[in-house]
Structures are given as C-alpha cells and as structure tokens.
Amino acid sequence: MRRLVAGFVVLAALLVAPEPAFAADASYRTLGAASNPDWMASLADSTSLAALSLPGTHETMSIHGGVLTQTQENFGDSGGTLARQLTAGIRVADIRARVNGGDTFTIHHGATYQNANFDDVLTTLADFLAAHPRETVVLRLKQECTGELGSCTDVSGQRGFADIFDAYVARYPNLFWAPSVSRSAGAATPALGAVRGRVVLAVVNGPRGGPVDRYGLAQFAGWDDGSSAYVQDEYTVPNVGAIATKCDQVRRFLDATRAADPSLMYVNFASGSSLFAQPQQVAGGAFGVQGVNPFLLGYLNQTAPARTGMVMLDFPGSGLIDKIVALNRG
C-alpha cells in the first residue's frame, strides 16, 4: 500500500507543471557560454590539487527523465554533454553507473537510463585530455542501483562492480592516475604536475553509500551517502522554502573549506531536490525564492575565498563557472 501511495504522489507531481525556475543568467543554465578548456595550463606543477577551486557537476550525465531527474543542460547523448562541460571548465565529474549485461556499465540517474555508457564517459575524457594535456579531471564514481522503488536494478549474473571497473581501467591504459585506481591502498593528494593529462579517481561509492575497497584518495575513505568529514551533501531539500537552508549549508562549508587544512580536499554539493523542490528550482530559484546558484555566485563575488574546493553544481551558468575558475589565478 505504501508503494502504491508513493506511486500516486510521484504521478501527481509529474502531472502538475512545476513553477518555472528563474530565467537563465550568469549563474544558471548558461554553461554553453563558458569556454575554459585550458585553464589549468598556466598553474605551477607544484600546485596541490587540494589548493584548487574546481567547478564540478552533480549527476554529470543526467539529462533525461523529466523535472525530478534532469540535473544538467542537454548538450547531447553519449559523451556530448560531458564534452561540453569539460570545454566550459568543469573539472569534477559525478558518474552514476548500472551493471549491465556483458560486464559493462550504463549511466543512470535512478531508474532512468541517460543514453550513455561508461565507454562514452571514458572516451570523452581521454579525447579531451589528449587535446588538453595540461588539464586533469577528478572523477567520483557511484554504483547507482539499489533495486528499490525509483532506482534501477543491476543485471544479474555479472561480475562484481569493482571487477568490472578494473577491466575498464585496463582497457584505457594511462587514462587514470595509477595510484588512484588501486583497490588495495588509497592515494595521497597529488600535485597538479603528477596528474596532468590524467583522470584522478576520488572515490568509488557503493549503492547505499560508503567507499568500495580502497579506490581513490585516502582522505575520502569515509565518503558516505550524504555528508561526511570532507563532503557537504545535504541533498534533501524538502520544499522550495527550504532552498534558503541549502544555501546556508553551502556557504558554511565554503567558509569551513577556506579555514581548513590546505593539504586536504573538500567537496561541496550545491545540488538538492525532493518531490516538492525539483533540481532546477533548487539551482535556479522558484516562487520568488533565490536559488543556490545565484546565491553562490553573489557570495563568491563578495568574499573571494582563497579556494572553494570541489563545488558540485546542477545547471551551472557560465558566470559561476568562470568565477570558480578565476579564483585559481589569485
């Protein structure tokens, strides 16, 4: 009965047209106007990855499924959307994978297939880094399927998630920074010179949170579902009125990052959603409530922190991306 009621609630939410988010502006839904394909090139090789301000996207590939599921502007299926984000200056990707037949990964947001496979992701990353060899990209990989209502279910009879991932790593030699894709030992935070032209795996998360083995950077061994020591991910925004609370959570974590140990990396999710506050509304605003993206751009313009850490965005605008990138130039 609970599942039936939940299904009716979801259906009702989908049938009611949501209040349009604020119009596209410098902070929201204008990623296509940003162009920062080589912004890391001028930075010193000795610069720690932890010292950088890195614009990222939450649910990087999520462009299908309607207002409850879409989190990014649609620049094309397969690797098209990721490719445009990288050109804009995005340097952190949040990839959610389902175990599919043939020991492969497909890209999902919950139950919705995003018309892309993990090979599309890795080929796009490899092509971009080959063309821009002084850049690096940080990757967060999550096993998406829980088998629960609203989620996907992994195909049975396949190898384990970690074994499938290892096979992908082997098929793309030299794409990943090797210390970050060891299952047996987490890596120390690298300097930029060591990872130019490579993908740095930050963490592999299981379907219900928690890291898988010891992939990624050692400091993220406690990266769980939601917030943890170095991650702010208060992803439930129960209604549009609660967007102000999410803005405050983002602000406080920015302030904490600025004051924290400069040798450690921090991840600040600006995203959030619920049935009554869709991702576009949280990002761009609705019903007269300011969204997280315009709030964040205004706050960064006022405070100019030394670093933001990794900022994970829904529907980012060109001005917001440009501002985070510019913080790296002092």
What is the per-residue pLDDT across 148-174, written as a single tens digit (0 to 9) for each? Answer: 999 999 999 999 999 999 999 999 999
With a cut of 60, say whether residue 25 has pLDDT above it. Answer: yes
Which token pair is 119? 């090979």
With a cut of 80, say whether residue 267 has pLDDT above it. Answer: yes
CB atoms within 10 A of CB 229: 12
With a cut of 80, say whether residue 123 has pLDDT above it. Answer: yes
Lowest mean pLDDT among 13-27, 122-136, 141-155, 254-268: 13-27
More confident residue, 21 or 103: 103
Which residues, 6 or more positions from 218, have their beta carbon under 8 angstroms from its beta carbon? 185, 186, 187, 188
- On average, the pLDDT of the chain sits at 94
d(CA 113, CA 217): 28
Specify the pLDDT at position 305: 86
With a cut of 80, say whether residue 1 has pLDDT above it. Answer: no
Averaged over 130-136, what is the pLDDT? 98
d(CA 16, CA 134): 47
Averaged over 180-195, what is the pLDDT? 97
Among 236, 192, 216, which residue's Cα sits nearest to residue 53? 192
Specify the pLDDT at position 11: 43
Q: What are the tens digits of pLDDT across the range 224-250?
A: 999 999 999 999 999 999 999 999 999
| Confidence label for 20 from pLDDT (cuts 50, 70 and 90) | low
d(CA 197, CA 135): 6
Q: For 323, what's the count of Cα atoms within 13 Å in the CB-facing half-sphere?
A: 23
Specify the pLDDT at position 7: 43
Specify the pLDDT at position 176: 98
Domains of the chain: 20-329 (3.20.20.190)
Q: Treating both helix axes as pointing N-terminal to C-terminal, what angle do 318-326 and 292-303 enclose, rounded to 10 degrees?
A: 30
Specify the pLDDT at position 17: 46
Q: Look up residue 100 and give its amino acid.
A: N
With a cut of 90, say whether residue 128 has pLDDT above it. Answer: yes
Work out the burial of residue 281: count CB atoms within 10 Å of its CB; fewer than 13 is exposed, 13-18 middle, 19 or more buried.
buried
Q: For 140, what's the count of Cα atoms within 13 Å in the CB-facing half-sphere?
A: 29
Give phi and psi for 162, each to the nearest 5. Answer: -65, -40
With a cut of 60, say whether residue 178 has pLDDT above it. Answer: yes
d(CA 82, CA 281): 22
Burial 257-266 (b: 16+ CB within 10 A, else e): beebeeebbb
